[in-house]
Chains A and B, each alone.
Chain A
């Protein structure tokens, strides 16, 4: 009797332990557009919100048509540096890439590769000179110079008291005529988060 009870009890504990100690990770696919916040820090949702707001504004702005009317061609744009002056390590590449994609898709603007990528492309071109079939060699000095550069800054203001803080993010993007320094478009997106840290938990 005792042995049977012990056996059942032990078996139950073992099964609980085994199911609780599964070593395979639990994975659930999520809609990338869904807003999920854990820490309160800048995340993919914030990048998407900034991108959505500035893209719409930039494409609706008059600068593209004005340039076309004056020069009879589409403007050429390059993405420059977006400075991070915030309290968090923010990779601005996520929303500048969205921005580039939307501009190319619209067909109203031509976009050239940014500084880092240009270096890689030039290295590839140099390699081609040495190794590719002469009929397929690409020439130097044929790059398209950009008419406009996109520059920007992400800044934050943090107001904290004990377990609560407000984080205000402001992203400013500016499109500047490379020849004349004229600012043809300024876009901004403001985000505000009220974050309350839990003071107590049960365990």
Chain B
């Protein structure tokens, strides 16, 4: 009597062959299904469009980020913070890499790994949270986020070996916002340090991303350095930046400061690009790399005119302080060699596995079976071979900042957006020594 398989009779040779073929096929196809990540979205995301099911098990970080950031744009700051806190916790948990997942990513694709976030994405979580707390009037909590940011940026700096440092290792905008919060608290020493760092990072920003420090960064530093009792620094800065206006700390304390945070454009999206490497034993070998696709946007900023009840007004235009498009692009360029090496190693591993099995099949079942095996497995390999195109889709292309120093009182604000659209804020209360944040979002 022939030996029985679990399900009954011993399968025929052809059935056994099919089983051998099906297992890798099922594995590869199921993994390639994970890769159904939609990078391109027609309109800017809204909280209602952020569905957990669209993100899958391995992109939970992006789900929480998108939900937190879109709620921030809609003015739901408490909800935004809850979601961003989830994103932050998950980001910390994802520090621990899965050994089996990493091994699988060398055979299948990077979608089998949980998305851990780009450095700048993880840092920006704290920026949004700090602004949320500031908008909720919780300055102490906003400062907690500023301190977290400081340690995150320091850790980021240390996470790359000497000589292999990432271009993005500090954040000028985040430092500027942290300095503003410290200044609002009256902690002039910390404010001074953060304004200085912001200005320093802008030198790198100018070289790497073409973003120069707006004049008000220097002006705020001058004021704080004066308040903290650094006359030498004030003198040095005034000679370095003669165009910057110097406002004494005591005078500024009698005035209020409005910061316009303008999120403009859509962040670039990653797309998978297939590059043919050659033909080997009749099989076309390709590898996929991620590349960024950019959305067109108006390069102008928003202009905000604040008008008091007596008709006196002050205008300010928003200037680019964080070019996310350029940061993302440079960041990818930094890592592309590592990604290329991994994609080629993956291709080699897949090819070796398939060919090893092909030899066995030829020996046992003949040439036709081998051809069938090679055709199906190489096809599924090609389908599964796709670059990891996951990225945060709710980020803007750039963050622009405008600043106005105003006499205390009640103001109305008339906003002219980059596309010519006008918006209004009916009532904005400005208090002496306080900072007010105005949040704007535009796409085109």
Tell me the A residues contacting B by CB distance below 8 Å. 1-2, 5-6, 9, 39, 83-89, 156, 158, 160-163, 165, 197-203
Contact = CB atoms under 8 A, between A and B. Distances in A.
A89 B99 CA distance: 33
B182 to A, nearest CB: 11
A180 B158 CA distance: 49
B53 interface: no
Interface in B140-188: 140-141, 143-144, 147-148, 151, 154-155, 158-159
Nearest to A160: B155
Contact of A203 (B7, B89, B101, B143): B101
Contacts of B6: 5, 9
B429 interface: no
Nearest to A202: B99
A87 B95 contact: no
B159 A83 contact: no
B97 A160 contact: no
Contacts of A39: 89, 92
Given A39-B89, A87-B151, A199 B97 contact: yes
B13 interface: no
A9 B5 CA distance: 13
B8 A2 contact: yes
Main secondary structure of the interface of B (DSSP, over half): helix
Contact of B158 (A5, A160, A199): A160
Q: Which 5 residue pairs of A and B lie closest in terms of their CB atoms, listed nearest first?
A: A2-B8, A198-B96, A160-B155, A87-B147, A158-B151
Interface of B: 6-8, 89, 92, 95-101, 140-141, 143-144, 147-148, 151, 154-155, 158-159
B144 A89 contact: yes
Given A197-B96, A199-B97, A86 B158 contact: no
Given A2-B7, A160-B151, A162-B159, A86 B144 contact: yes
B357 to A, nearest CB: 26
B140 A84 contact: yes
A87 B6 CA distance: 59
Contacts of B144: 84, 86-89
B372 to A, nearest CB: 28
Contacts of B97: 199-201
Nearest to A90: B144
A5 B8 CA distance: 8
Contacts of A1: 8
B92 A162 contact: no
Given A83-B140, A85-B143, A87-B151, A202 B98 contact: yes
A203 B98 contact: yes
Contacts of A158: 151
A2 B89 CA distance: 50
22 contacts: A2-B8, A9-B6, A39-B89, A83-B140, A84-B140, A84-B141, A85-B147, A86-B144, A87-B148, A87-B151, A160-B155, A161-B155, A162-B155, A199-B95, A199-B96, A200-B97, A200-B98, A201-B96, A201-B98, A201-B99, A202-B99, A203-B98
A163 B151 contact: no
Given A160-B155, A161-B155, 9 more contacts: A1-B8, A2-B7, A6-B7, A84-B144, A88-B148, A197-B95, A197-B96, A200-B96, A201-B97
A118 to B, nearest CB: 20
B147 A86 contact: yes
A134 to B, nearest CB: 41
A54 B286 CA distance: 67
Contacts of A162: 155, 158-159
Contacts of A197: 92, 95-96
A198 B143 CA distance: 28
A104 to B, nearest CB: 27
Contacts of A6: 7
A85 B154 CA distance: 18
B243 to A, nearest CB: 36
Nearest to B9: A2
B7 A200 contact: no
Contacts of A198: 95-96
